[in-house]
Structure 1
Amino acid sequence: MQLETYISDLLYRYDCVTVPEFGAFLTHRVSAKIHESTHAFYPPKKALSFNEQLQNNDGLLANYIADVEKIPYEVAVEKVTKHVKSIKSYLVEGETIAFQNIGELLLNKEGKINFEPSLHINYLTDAFGLSQFTSSDITREVYKEDVEAIEEVIPLIITPEKRKSRPYLKYAAIALIALTVGGFTASHYYGNQIESHNQLAQEEANQRLDVKVQEATFIINNPLPAATLSVEKKQTGNYHIVAGAFRVEANSDKKVDQLRAKGYKARKIGANKYGLHEVVYASFSDRLEALKTLRQIKREHNRDAWLLVKALD
């Protein structure tokens, strides 16, 4: 009996799985963290431990085994008891018991069980798909130091205005500075809004097409269903309705041919930052028109289509 398989299954759903007359495997949630020196990100997880004192049968493990193997509960309890006796005999002989995806157990000099948890699996379902990664250092420009260095070479001297005939120049300069700062702020805000939109749209599309977009190595064989939508012929603008993204460029060419055969003015718009070749149904200059067409495509042809806001070269 693969006892560790049943224990592992239950650890995804419960914080305590007791093996009668042996001990209990416990989990507790650990928050995500960033290592300050290595800049490594660690996602949230369930930390695993073992308590030899908890040995009373709570019925969880035996009931699960009985349900999976389609055997009576009493038979499942007997099988667990027999397996535990075998494990204890190996431990007494000084052997290390390895539970796959759980960890290793062995007896110490005092006759107590030491447990070394496995670190390659995360039992926290909320963190499914997250993995450890290391971020590169960010080099920040210190503009104040640059300005001070420039001022040492070319000092900025402000002297009182002796002539009072043109005071409006001072106010014009102030207005010019205000307009420049305001324009930069508005541009920066608009750019952030577009980036946020594209990121949210990409994440939503990735969630619906996780297998297709992340792997993106499939070959399209099935013909697309017929569409009755008339798509705007105009192929300029910053609003693009994305049909799909492909790791293999030949797949993106095939997608373009299929969409054009259905009456769309499909085209490739290049590779995105993930290296995937993007194919769009059409591009629009008017945002409302793009959204209207997107809703119709999602309703009648492809529910996974999404809107990309991007100025193409």
Structure 2
Amino acid sequence: MTLANYINDLLYRYDCVIVPNFGGFVTNTIGARVNTTTHTMYPPKKQLTFNAYLQHNDGLLANYIASNKNISFEQATTFIAEEVAKWNKDLKTTAVEVASVGSLSLNEANQVVFEPNLTSNFLTASFGLAEVSTPSVERVKEVKVKSLPTVSEEKSKTIPLYIKRAAAAAVFVGVVYVGWNGIQNQQQQELLANQEESVQKKIQSATFVIDNPLPTINLNVTKEAKNFHIIAGAFQEVHNAENKLAELQEKGYDASIIGKNKFGLIQVAFASYATRSEARKALETIKEMVSEDAWLLAK
């Protein structure tokens, strides 16, 4: 994966992703809106901007890359620096596409200009929602319907007698037909109901036997023990330890509370490792980039 793809992934989870020594992509959630001119409704989304002054390495991007590529934090930082150098070189001649985030270019003052991809929506709550356009509604003019002229009593008296008798006979035949048709429909419905009841009874009484069932498979998976911890701090109060844990996890660390020490203080770790060599490499990076007070605990 390229650096742009990692940035794209993190923008779904965080409101700010900083690329060290380059700038930060910042999101701001906006609500649904309607364009009354084009009759288009837009779902809620994250509005994306770029801030060239956010260049400090907060560890979020590097930790995510290190976890995905299964490399050290230092190697991930080097990978970011190489990608940024390539971006700066390409920007002198052309625009740089950052996955589905948007494009970067230089203006006349040699400043980075960001154009967001308006089709991308990094708000997970709006997943599956799309723009909806509706045609405009035009008002229909009222139409007046003239009433049909009524037949006068004098004309009704002039209707021949044989026409009246024929009309009465037609009405009688119609009533008889409707009645017979209703009886037939009722008989068909009763027949279908009896057939359906019979099928249901057969299904309920049926049994299914599998002669050769598949054998069960037992998987024995041993979890690698992580006994080397990089300690970020020790706290007497539980809520202080939980706040520190949430802070480290927000920055992208695989942080955890590893219990109390011999003084009864709750210890919070940046991360835990299976080997001492891995833990020492991570400790050097954390002491240099984040906290000089971090130290290694082996259990």
**Structure whose alpha-carbon radius of gyration is higher:** 2
**Greater relative contact order (Cα 8 A, min sep 6): structure 1 or 2?**
2
Bin for the TM-score computed over the shorter chain:
0.3 to 0.5
